[in-house]
């Protein structure tokens, strides 16, 4: 059967079928309705408080205040809904980008489509590493083996045959000429006619809901929701205290008035205390972070990984393709019998005719350059294939040309030499040559052949052959140019780079030396690893950075050893067998280009360009994002202090409820400013200069450390002192002019807020510098100017009477500006002393 028989579907047919059968998904994606979203927003405690406050205004017979309150409420719903909608959109786009894909035949040409768009009748192509996306009939199979353990529990892979070659008519439920969704291709290729999709598949029938695993809250989200709850409890307690105090403060009012005023001041305080921005910060920062990473070729599949990235302390990477360019070229050819021509020819015959492995490609090119064409190499009939496995590390082809049968084998020299018949002297010469080539950093491949007289004499396994050694091939795969610099960066950042390779130790060590990896001469080989106990391995990994001749199963042990030493491990992998190690690592990184579908599915992160530099860049971004979250949480904490304290202290000082610094209206107004300021300005903060010069963050560290908390409280208290003090002084001066006193206090808080964002953008860089970094950023300008413009509007337009504010004179405005500047910018002096101390420590160290 030839491929012309397959025509595939046309676009029109696909469209019709899609309408009929829907998407190839186990469960249809649930869409949250707009109403649902709004409902979600208004059932939050903050919202209920707002509604209570607005209602009270209406009951009080102040519908104007109630109405303004409601407008603010709508504003906040608006901001939250837009933010949520944007986050959802971002996350959906990310999901789409990392969705599994499959090659199909449509409109007479091969296309890659998202697996969810498959329809019954499609012709799909599967190959090693693919997770079968739908049920279908095998039309053509070439050494196609499928692991069906996810369905049948059978560990052994099943050899599939095409429909017409299937002789078994037995009543076996699981057919040999049929592929099942959810199973895994471990070897070979096949052409499949899709029969059933989505929940109609056997996999779908079982109802295994693996695909739509719910997005669990991240560790940070759990931490902050605890924090929010704690604040809410404190708020509830203070609500009662403030309510009672207020009640006794106004004995001259009527009972209902007293009651309403006390509830109102309690509500104000509660509103001021609940840091409802925390969860918003997390989702926005993490999803925006993931989005920014995607633009830099690193696709985050699981949101919590964005947090974990910043804590990575060990980076285990494959050598070939990640550290090196994966551009192999034949550098050296050494023939045992001085017959380079035969050596080259056998080497070529040992390659796959449709080679996709860069090494085999370069070998075939080398043959062609030497005048040995593909016709000479692959002209005969391929009668047997000894497949490459990671354990064997060699492979072979048996070619028949008329009566001439030749085994052409190639692979790692250690393995090939064990099946070669050689004189002791020849073996010594070969071994010496192998070492010589390896030391130059070349990948050494041994090539051997065997003549066979009759087809029936072809051995079943490669290991049963007795080869004649033709010679050795030395292939160069130079390290990527940027790797040296990246290793330096990682070392400075306290991130250890560990190289893992199937190549031999000498080659690996030579490459490690070329890129200046520390301890490049210390190596653990796969064989040594097999003999080591877990405890021994745990000790050894403390200093060894190169693992050679490993098989994917070893990666799992390496990850475990590092994790048990308390490290946070990122591990790359591309093969089918790498999946368990990728899952086990804190950050599993799959390759977008050369990786298998299965490894991508197991990974937390997909590297679209397979480049080591991108990993380093991603870690840097992970640190930046975490830094910014920390800054934002600190900022929110700080800014809530003057607001909460004002509401708390006023009743205690016996201030008349109508003269309060912050009426509920003003609290809502401030909340309206805080949310966008932090989530927009702080999310955009670029990385600090020393971000890759710090040690990795301790993964168990709380987001709000004692240090951050102390800083936030001090900053907040100073701001409170400045705003409330000024307000109180003005009020004592003229107790009838509460609006003026309030305008002073509010202006100070708002101006201080703008300054605070810039001061808290960095712990060590001065505010001016952080500001300058974003000076081309329109959004930041918009937010800062927006706040100032907003302030002008509420002070100097008729709106001021609605908001119970009085316009400030120029000198009052300047006074407010100076006070707010002092109340925030003092922290710049702390930075100065910090930097001086750091400087002197540094110069002391460098002496
Ligand atoms: P890496 O982890 O560096 O990618 P591999 O696992 O791909 O290494 O290869 C390990 C070893 O297996 C190689 O050093 C080589 O000796 C052997 N090998 C790899 N691919 C082939 C091949 N196509 N034919 C023969 N030998 C191979
Ligand atoms: Mg490889």
Amino acid 175: pLDDT: 87
Q: Are residues 251 and 157 in the same domain?
A: no
CB under 5 Å of ion ligand 2: residues: 320
CATH (domain of 358): 3.40.1110.10
- Whole-number Å distance between alpha carbons of 518 and 498: 10
CA of 217 to the centre of ligand 2 (A): 36
**Is pLDDT at 770 greater than 60 in this prediction?**
yes
Q: Are residues 384 and 464 in the same domain?
A: yes
- Rounded to 5 degrees, what are φ and ψ at 78? -60, -55
Amino acid 169: pLDDT: 58
- Total count of domains within the chain: 4
**Is pLDDT at 512 greater than 50 in this prediction?**
yes
pLDDT in tens, 708-749: 899 999 999 999 999 999 999 999 998 889 999 999 999 999
- Whole-number Å distance between alpha carbons of 152 and 321: 35
Q: Locate the ligand 1 atom nearest the alpha carbon of residue 501 and give its number.
A: 2
How large is the average pLDDT for residues 128-134? Answer: 89
The verdict on residue 111 lying in a domain is no
pLDDT in tens, 181-240: 988 898 888 999 999 998 888 887 775 444 444 455 667 878 888 888 888 888 889 888
**Is pLDDT at 806 greater than 50 in this prediction?**
yes
Report how far apart, in Å, the C-alpha atoms of 87 and of each of 281, 287, 288, 425, 445 are: 11, 6, 7, 69, 51
- HEC secondary structure over 426-455: HHHHHHHHHHHHHHCCCEEEEEEEEEECCH
**Is pLDDT at 128 greater than 60 in this prediction?**
yes
- Whole-number Å distance between alpha carbons of 509 and 503: 10
DSSP conformation class of 697: P
Contacts 24+ apart (CB under 8 A), 228-236: 228/274, 228/275, 228/276, 228/278, 228/279, 231/273, 231/274, 231/275, 232/45, 232/273, 232/274, 234/273, 235/269, 235/270, 235/273, 235/274, 236/270
Token pair 């050894």 is at which residue? 540
Token pair 């307690």 is at which residue? 237
Enumerate residues 6+ apart whose C-beta is below 8 A from 787. 673, 677, 750, 753, 754
The verdict on residue 624 lying in a domain is yes
Amino acid 229: pLDDT: 86
Amino acid 209: pLDDT: 44
The verdict on residue 103 lying in a domain is no
318 is catalytic: yes
Amino acid 846: pLDDT: 60
Confidence of residue 3 (pLDDT cuts 50, 70, 90): very low
Confidence of residue 844 (pLDDT cuts 50, 70, 90): low
Alpha-carbon torsion (832, 837, 842, 843), positive or negative: positive
**pTM reported for the whole predicted model:** 0.85
**Is pLDDT at 176 greater than 70 in this prediction?**
yes
CA dihedral 178, 180, 183, 186 (to 10 degrees): 20
Q: Are residues 231 and 198 in the same domain?
A: no
Pick the residue with more confidence: 793 or 274?
793
Q: Are residues 723 and 766 in the same domain?
A: yes
Confidence of residue 317 (pLDDT cuts 50, 70, 90): very high
How large is the average pLDDT for residues 477-483? Answer: 93
Element (H, E) at 772: helix 767-773
Of 547, 576, 610, which marks where a domain is finished? 610
- Whole-number Å distance between alpha carbons of 178 and 188: 15
Confidence of residue 150 (pLDDT cuts 50, 70, 90): confident
Q: Are residues 837 and 735 in the same domain?
A: yes
Residue nearest ligand 1's atom 4 by CA: 320
Residue nearest ligand 1's atom 19 by CA: 393
The verdict on residue 485 lying in a domain is yes
Amino acid 351: pLDDT: 94
Pairing between β-strand 546-548 and β-strand 523-525 as defined by DSSP bridges: parallel
Q: Are residues 419 and 380 in the same domain?
A: yes
Q: Are residues 141 and 162 in the same domain?
A: yes
Alpha-carbon torsion (833, 838, 842, 845), positive or negative: positive
Amino acid 277: pLDDT: 83
Q: Are residues 709 and 762 in the same domain?
A: yes
Q: Are residues 129 and 63 in the same domain?
A: no
Amino acid 536: pLDDT: 96
How large is the average pLDDT for residues 7-14? Answer: 89
Output b/e per residue, 669-696; b: 16+ Cβ within 10 A: bbbbbbbbbbbbbbbbbeebeebbeeeb
Enumerate residues 6+ apart whose C-beta is below 8 A from 652. 245
Q: Are residues 401 and 280 in the same domain?
A: no
Most confident range, picked from 55-59, 257-261, 409-413, 601-605? 409-413
Of 592, 610, 628, which marks where a domain is finished? 610
Picking from 17-26, 391-400, 744-753, 805-814, which range would have the lowest pLDDT averaged per residue? 17-26
Amino acid 210: pLDDT: 42
**Is pLDDT at 17 greater than 70 in this prediction?**
yes
Which of 411, 434, 578, 593 has most ligand 1 atoms within 8 Å of CB, for mutation? 411
Pick the residue with more confidence: 365 or 29?
365
CB 206 within 8 A of CB 151: yes
Q: Are residues 166 and 233 in the same domain?
A: no
How large is the average pLDDT for residues 464-490? Answer: 95
Q: What is the mean pLDDT of the chain?
A: 88
Domain limits for position 584: 298-324+480-610
Amino acid 207: pLDDT: 56
How large is the average pLDDT for residues 756-771? Answer: 86
How large is the average pLDDT for residues 154-168? Answer: 79
CA of 251 to the centre of ligand 2 (A): 83
Residue nearest ligand 1's atom 14 by CA: 503
Amino acid 31: pLDDT: 64
CB 687 within 8 A of CB 91: no
CATH (domain of 142): 2.70.150.10
Element (H, E) at 138: strand 135-147
Q: Are residues 727 and 829 in the same domain?
A: yes
CA of 385 to the centre of ligand 1 (A): 17
Confidence of residue 663 (pLDDT cuts 50, 70, 90): confident
pLDDT in tens, 531-546: 999 999 999 999 999 9
Pocket of ligand 1 (CB under 6 A): 318-320, 357, 359-360, 388, 390, 393-395, 410-412, 443, 445, 501-503
Picking from 324-333, 676-685, 746-755, 835-844, which range would have the lowest pLDDT averaged per residue? 835-844
How large is the average pLDDT for residues 453-471? Answer: 93
Picking from 174-188, 385-399, 832-846, which range would have the lowest pLDDT averaged per residue? 832-846
């Amino acid at each position: 059967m030839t491929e012309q028989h397959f025509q595939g579907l046309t676009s029109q047919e696909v469209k019709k079928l899609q309408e009929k059968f829907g998407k190839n998904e186990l469960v249809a994606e649930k869409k949250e309705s707009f109403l649902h979203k709004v409902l979600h927003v208004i059932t939050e405690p903050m919202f209920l408080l707002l509604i209570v406050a607005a209602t009270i205004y209406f009951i009080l017979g102040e519908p104007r205040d109630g109405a303004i309150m409601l407008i603010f409420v709508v504003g906040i719903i608006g901001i939250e809904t837009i933010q949520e909608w944007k986050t959802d959109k971002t996350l959906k786009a990310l999901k789409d980008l990392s969705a599994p894909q499959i090659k199909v035949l449509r409109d007479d040409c091969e296309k890659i489509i998202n697996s969810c768009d498959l329809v019954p009748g499609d012709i799909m192509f599967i190959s090693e590493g693919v997770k079968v996306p739908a049920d279908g009939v095998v039309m053509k199979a070439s050494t196609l083996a499928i692991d069906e353990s996810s369905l049948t529990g059978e560990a052994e892979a099943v050899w599939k045959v095409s429909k017409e070659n299937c002789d078994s008519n037995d009543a076996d439920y699981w057919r040999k000429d049929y592929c099942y969704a959810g199973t895994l291709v471990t070897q070979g290729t096949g052409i499949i006619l899709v029969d059933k999709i989505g929940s109609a598949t056997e996999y779908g029938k079982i109802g295994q809901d693996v695909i739509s695993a719910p997005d669990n809250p991240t560790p940070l989200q759990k931490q902050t929701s605890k924090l929010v709850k704690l604040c809410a409890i404190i708020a509830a307690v203070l609500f009662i205290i403030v309510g009672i105090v207020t009640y006794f403060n106004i004995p001259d009012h009527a009972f209902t008035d007293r009651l309403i005023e006390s509830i109102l001041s309690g509500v104000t305080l509660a509103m001021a205390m609940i840091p409802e921005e925390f969860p918003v910060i997390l989702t926005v920062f993490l999803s925006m972070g993931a989005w920014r990473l995607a633009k830099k070729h690193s696709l985050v599949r699981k949101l919590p990984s964005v947090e974990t990235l910043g804590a990575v302390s060990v980076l285990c990477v494959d050598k070939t393709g990640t550290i090196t360019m994966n551009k192999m070229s034949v550098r050296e050819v050494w023939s045992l019998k001085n017959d380079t021509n035969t050596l080259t020819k056998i080497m070529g015959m040992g390659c796959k005719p449709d080679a996709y492995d860069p090494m085999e490609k370069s070998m075939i090119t080398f043959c062609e350059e030497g005048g040995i064409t593909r016709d000479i190499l692959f002209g005969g009939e391929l009668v047997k294939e000894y497949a490459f496995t990671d354990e064997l590390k060699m492979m072979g082809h048996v070619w028949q040309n008329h009566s001439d049968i030749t085994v052409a084998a190639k692979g790692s020299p250690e393995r090939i030499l064990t099946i070669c018949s050689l004189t002791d002297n020849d073996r010594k010469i070969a071994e010496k040559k192998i070492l010589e080539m390896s030391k130059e950093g070349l990948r050494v491949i041994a090539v051997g052949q065997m003549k066979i007289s009759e087809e029936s004499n072809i051995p079943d396994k490669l290991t049963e052959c007795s080869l004649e050694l033709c010679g050795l091939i030395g292939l160069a795969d130079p390290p990527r140019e940027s790797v040296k610099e990246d290793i330096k960066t990682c070392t400075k950042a306290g991130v250890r780079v560990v190289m893992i390779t199937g190549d031999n130790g000498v080659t690996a060590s030579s490459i490690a030396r070329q890129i200046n990896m520390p301890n490049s001469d210390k190596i653990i080989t796969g064989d040594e690893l097999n003999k080591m106990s877990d405890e021994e391995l745990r000790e050894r990994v403390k200093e060894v950075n190169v693992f050679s001749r490993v098989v994917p199963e070893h990666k799992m042990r390496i990850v475990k050893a590092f994790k048990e030493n308390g490290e946070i491990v990122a591990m790359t992998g591309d093969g089918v067998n790498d999946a368990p190690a990728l899952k086990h690592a804190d950050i599993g990184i799959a390759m977008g280009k050369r990786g298998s579908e299965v490894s991508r599915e197991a990974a937390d992160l997909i590297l679209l360009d397979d480049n080591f530099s991108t990993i380093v860049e991603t870690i840097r971004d992970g640190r930046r994002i975490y830094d910014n979250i920390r800054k934002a949480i600190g900022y929110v904490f700080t800014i809530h202090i003057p607001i909460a304290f004002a509401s708390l202290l006023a009743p205690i000082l016996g201030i008349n409820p109508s003269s309060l610094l912050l009426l509920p209206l003003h609290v809502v107004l401030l909340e309206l400013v805080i949310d966008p300021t932090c989530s927009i300005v702080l999310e955009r903060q670029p990385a600090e200069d020393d971000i890759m010069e710090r040690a990795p963050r301790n993964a168990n560290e709380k987001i709000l450390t004692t240090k951050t908390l102390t800083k936030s409280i001090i900053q907040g208290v100073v701001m409170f002192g400045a705003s409330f003090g000024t307000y109180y002084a003005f009020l004592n001066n003229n107790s009838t002019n509460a609006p003026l006193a309030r305008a002073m206090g509010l202006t100070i808080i708002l101006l201080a807020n703008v300054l605070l964002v810039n001061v808290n953008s960095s712990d060590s860089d001065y505010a001016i510098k952080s500001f300058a970094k974003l000076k081309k950023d329109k959004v930041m300008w918009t937010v800062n100017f927006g706040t100032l413009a907003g302030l002008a509007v509420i002070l100097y337009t008729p709106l001021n009477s609605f908001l119970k504010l009085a316009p400030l004179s120029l000198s009052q405005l300047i006074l407010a500006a100076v006070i707010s500047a002092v109340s925030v910018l003092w922290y710049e002096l702390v930075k100065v002393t910090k930097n001086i101390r750091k400087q002197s420590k540094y110069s002391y160290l460098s002496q």
